[in-house]
Copies of this chain bind each other. A is one copy, B any other.
Amino acid sequence: MPHFTIEYSANLDKRVDMGTVVELVRKAAVETGIFPLGGIRVRAVRCEHFAIANGNPNFGFLDMVLRLGEGRDLATRKKAGEHIFKTLSAYLDPVFASSKFALSFDMQINDKETSWKRNNIHDVLKVEAAHG
């Protein structure tokens, strides 16, 4: 945890650098201060086939879902989500200015009773921090 999954219409290829977007979201997630660094995973899935609103093929969308673990209260989640959304939204200002576009972001909480993980990134980050 946390997992950020972005889905986007393929017509954004010409308008957005998706490598920059995932990095931007990663940094914004770090800045919230509520996530362990080694657990942050952001990714984007390109959707070749899509249909939006009245079907206009020039419309675009970018939708992000965050799945996170239990244990953070609503105020904390709202504040963190607000920060991440604002960062992402500001970066996409040019897309809103030049095209018709829908941006969205939702959070889901994973059930800790049915959650498994194995991760050796945490350890290397500790070593880097100690020697950094």
Contact = CB atoms under 8 A, between A and B. Distances in A.
Interface of A: 1, 3, 5, 7, 9, 18-19, 21-23, 25-27, 37-55, 59, 61, 63, 65, 67, 74, 77-78, 81-82, 85, 89, 96, 100-108, 110-111, 113-121, 124-125, 128
A77 B119 contact: no
B113 A78 contact: yes
How many copies of the polypeptide does the oligomer hold? 3
A108 B110 CA distance: 8
Contact of A41 (B48, B50, B106): B50
B51 A22 contact: yes
Nearest to A20: B49
B25 A51 contact: yes
Given A78-B114, A111-B107, A102 B51 contact: no
The 9 A-B pairs with the shortest beta carbon distances in the complex, nearest first, are: A43-B47, A26-B51, A107-B114, A85-B116, A43-B50, A22-B51, A102-B119, A44-B49, A105-B116
